[in-house]
Structure 1
Amino acid sequence: MQKKGMTPNTFTFVPVLNACASLRALEEGRQVHEQIIQSGCEGDAFVGCSLVDMYAKCGSMEDAHRVFNKMPSRDVVTWNAMILGHGKCAQGQKALELFSQMQQEGVKPDSVTFVGVVNACASWVAREEGRCAHEQIIRSGWDSDVFVGNSLVDMYAKCGSMEDAQRVFNRMPSRNVVTWNAMILGHVKCRQGHKSVEFFRQMQQEGVQPDSVTFVGVVNACASLIALEEGRSAHEQIIQNHSKWMDSVVFVGNSLVDMYAKCGSMEDAKRVFNEMPLRDVVSWNTILGGFAMHGHGNEALTYFEQMCEEGVQPDGITFVCLLSACSHAGLVHEGMCFYASMKEVYMISPTVEHYTCMVDLLGRAGHLEEAENMIKSMPCKPHFATCMALLGACRIHGNVEMGERVAKQFIELESENAAGYVLAANIYPASGNKHLCEDVELQRKERDAKRQPGRTWIEVDNKVHTFVVDDQDHPQMVEIHAELKRLSTLVHDAGYVPHTTIVLHDVEEEEKVFHLCHHSEKLAIAFGLLNTAPGTPLRIRKNLRVCEDCHTSTKFISKIVGRTIMVRDVNCFHHFKDGVCSCMDYW
């Protein structure tokens, strides 16, 4: 147009600025802004509004503010652009300040304003401010708007208040796929995967067509629950629908790889990964993380070589996965080489996560002094996970003196975290210092460090069952207790000896044995054996680290019943088969 000698005007600049905004073309937008100034059109309300919107969508809120402050008059659209822009840039507090200022200047908010304000509360995780906005939305009559309703559901979900999200959801006169996605993803975030799956089923029953975001949420829920069959069912639907959202194929594929890995099926994870038409660094990190979780160190190394051959640049997460894989597989030399190349070749500065992996790598291999020196050399304050890694190594290798030092350091960092006290207490029984074990437990109680109750999940016939220690609520509990009694006799005859020293209660030995028999993972295993066909693998998930007694007894059970039992705890995957665990008794 300009080459033909035609002079642009306000009607030209507005769509050109909108084009820059949609493309996030900040530099081109600035060039257009210069021409606007030269043409004298900067004072036009529509041009000013488009400039604010362009800068906001390009993430340059300083430029947006400069234009905004110069405007002689500002309508609701201009204010909305500023509020939405700050929300997009994770500046929720600033967005709320503008919302307040807007009303003080007499500008009435509309549905777009409220969407921006609620989204800002979500990004800022400001539940109380979100509730205040919600009250104003109701007074303004915008609560029936589907877009406002979706934002409210999303805000409450991101703030961890699923009850409030449910209330908004139930009152909405109309709901679309975005509404359902907010509930599904919200329950995943709040670790309520079973509810995500229930919403997915209900959504389909009501005839709402799922999209790629829906499937990512459901697959993530299945991963959290180790609901392999439910995940496979979702995978089949993804195959049927993927042509509708080809732009999300990598995102969905990454979620599937992660789900299969976390459900204990690395064969399926590898198959999905190898069949992906496109892969990014997240794809590689996901498969490497899966190998690390399962202790497949050599396969992780092979895939990393392939990653480099394909020209994918590794990032910091890649090396966390590699170091973790080397740690679980005992590949000390390889781990040291990766740690060196990360700094020297790829110029990636180590983070707390990398140091934790290195401490774990050295500690597992028995190099306790090197591991402790690694913590001392850290440029930042050690994380509790770093101390826990070394504390666990001290327990395995029986180094009580170092364990005490590390335990004190841990308690200074996390005085209210019970995990360190429990692990520290477990160091002493092996050395015969029972009274010291009791002292640690007393110290934990004095500091009110609450022990997280053990909880275990198992999927049978596409339904996830939950068990807690000494559970009495399950409808099959009579049969489960009978099965546990049967298994107890068989494992004792096979040579199993209960680890009663890990029971920190001051009770008789017989009661300690009874307590151990009713740990949540044992209840889940007994339930699985009763409700699945002989030879069927059992897959269970626990929210805590598997205790020594459950680890030992599960090895015996796997051999006696001829089953593979897969247990995913907070540290790694344990594959129990023929009386042996894949972790080689180090976890």
Structure 2
Amino acid sequence: MEMFYRMQLDGLRPDQYTFGGVLRACAAGSVVTRGEQVHAYTIKTSLDMNVFVVTGLVDMYAKCKKIGCARYLFDNNPERNMVLWTAMLTGHTQNAECQKAAEIFCEMQMAGVKSNQFTFPSILSACAALRSKELGLQVHASVLQTGFSINVFVQSALIDMYSKCDDLASAQRVLDGMAVADEVSWNSLLGYTHHGLHEEALKLFCEMRIARVKPDEFVIASALSACAGLSVLELGQQFHAIFVRLGFGSSLSIDNSLVTMYAKCGCIEDAHLVFDLMLIRDVVSWTALIVGYAQNGRGKDALSLYEQMILNGNLALKNTW
């Protein structure tokens, strides 16, 4: 931005590429005020209808949460290329307007505009959020037709979409077809735990370790949840050791899963020890321990913990009792 202002002071006229770079900087920092100033300057220099500049403006406004401004510019620009269509689609997805993103994709298809490796992950994210497997299948067909089925970002998005649409078999097939499965791809399939398929989740985690893919905290938490679901203490302890060895430090999602795992495996004292060592606790942490005490036949301790939770200002969840 400083260079842009100096350029103006020196009397140099910015072109479409200058504006594109400056708008990307505004978008990255979510600096909407400066972005609006740049927008005004594009009008002054008669570049406000240039498709390259409009794309930068749409991206900037969308990332600054002014999606209405982005959509106005898109709708009123007669020249639209693939990049501009993708920027608008992505903007709607990023602003949780997934139905509008789906509509943009359909309009894009009808206009005969091809999608690319950036379009597909965005629309697949929208499909996942909408739980729209029907649209997801249409997008997958388009992926196959356009030759992007081997792109790792597109493949990861497909896995996430199928997983969130409760089609784990299709998600697994996409994963199996990947030449190199990245961390994001493996993580998406750990939706197995949310469907009660604990054995499948643990098998997948073991395959992930064999493939030397480093798990993140959400993967570890999912694996621990699977151990809790199956009440396999020894395996849960092994995962606990992996978590410590990988040096994640304190993690709310993992700590909550550890409390639940130890409690469901009958080791309520270990669950309480993990709870006591937690740097941050939320209502899920308290609920996991309270339910653990209740399930292990220690009702009085559960009631005592419930009173402590209320005194600490935490509201009970529906499944606390």
Q: TM-score, normalised on structure 1?
A: 0.48
Correspondent of 1:284 among 267, 282, 285: 282
Question: Structure 1 vs Structure 2: percent identity of aligned residues?
Answer: 32
Aligned counterparts, 1:133-148, within 5 A: 133-148=139-154
For the 8 Å contact 1:59–1:89, the answer to whether it is kept is yes
* Pair 1:39–1:18, CA change in 2 (3 A): closer
How far did 1:196 drift? Answer: 0.5
Cα deviation digits, residues 426-462 of structure 1 (max 9, x gap): xxxxxxxxxxxxxxxxxxxxxxxxxxxxxxxxxxxxx
The CA RMSD measured in Å over matched residues stands at 2.7
Higher strand fraction: Structure 1 or Structure 2? 1
Structure 2 CA distance for partners of 1:264 and 1:54, relative to 1, 3 Å? farther
Structure 1: how far apart are the matches of 2:259 and 2:24? 38
Match of 1:153 in 2: 159
State yes or no: 1:259 paired with 2:261: yes
1:193 maps onto 2:195 in alignment:
no
Which protein is bigger by CA-based radius of gyration? 1
- Match status 1:205 vs 2:226: no
Separation of aligned partners in 2, 1:209 and 1:171: 20
Relative to structure 1, is the Cα distance of residues 181 and 4 closer, same or farther in structure 2, using a 3 angstrom cutoff? Answer: closer
- The superposition leaves residues 213-235 of structure 1 with CA deviations (integer Å, 9 ceiling, x where unpaired) of 32122122223333332222111
- Give the Å deviation of 1:58: 3.8
Match of 1:182 in 2: 188
The gaps in structure 1 that reach 5 residues or longer are 309-313, 329-587
1:235 to 234, 237, 240: 240
| Distance of 1:75 and 1:3 partners within structure 2 | 26
The CA distance in 2 between the partners of 1:86 and 1:120, in whole Å, is: 9
Q: Does 1:57 align with 2:63?
A: yes
CA contact (8 A) 1:196 1:218 kept: yes
Distance 1:224 1:20, change over 3 A: farther
Q: Does 1:29 align with 2:27?
A: no
Alpha carbons of structure 1 residues 88 and 219: separation in structure 2 relative to 1, 3 Å: farther
Q: Deviations over 1:194-229 (max 9, x none)?
A: 111001111111222222232122122223333332
- Show structure 2 runs of 5+ residues with no match: none
8 Å Cα contact 2:193-2:226 kept in structure 1 = yes
1:320 to 314, 317, 320: 317
Offset of residue 187 of structure 1:
0.8
Aligned mates of 2:20, 2:253 — CA distance in 1: 34
Displacement of 1:263 in angstroms is 4.0
What amino acid is the match of 1:320? L
Alignment partner of 2:270 out of 268, 288, 301? 268
Partner amino acid for 2:222? G
- List aligned pairs for 1:278-427, cutoff 5 A: 279=280, 283-293=281-291, 294=294, 295=299, 296-305=302-311, 307-308=312-313, 314=314, 318-320=315-317
Shift of 1:2: 8.0
Q: What is the CA deviation profile of residues 382-404 of structure 1, one whole-angstrom value per residue up to 9, with x for unaligned ones? A: xxxxxxxxxxxxxxxxxxxxxxx
- Does the 8 Å contact 1:149/1:172 carry over to 2? yes
1:264 to partner: Cα distance: 4.2
Amino acid at match of 2:276: N
- In 2, the alpha carbon distance for the partners of 1:13 and 1:107 equals 25
The higher relative CO (CA closer than 8 Å, separation ≥ 6) is in 2
One-letter amino acid of the structure 2 residue matched with residue 172 of structure 1 = M
- Decide whether the 8 Å contact of 2:228 with 2:265 is kept in 1: yes
Deviations 1:311-356 (A, max 9, x none): xxx4xxx2337xx76xx6xxxxxxxxxxxxxxxxxxxxxxxxxxxx
User: Which one-letter code corresponds to 2:88 in the other structure?
Assistant: M
> Contact between 1:291 and 1:297, CA under 8 Å: does it hold in 2?
no
Report if aligned partners of 1:149, 1:168 keep a CA contact under 8 Å in 2.
Answer: yes
Match of 1:458 in 2: none
Q: 2:169 matched to 1:172?
A: no
**Alpha-carbon separation, structure 2, partners of 1:194 and 1:85:** 38
Alignment check: 8 A CA contact 2:4 2:22 kept: no
Match of 1:583 in 2: none
How far residue 30 of structure 1 moved from its aligned partner, in angstroms, is 4.2
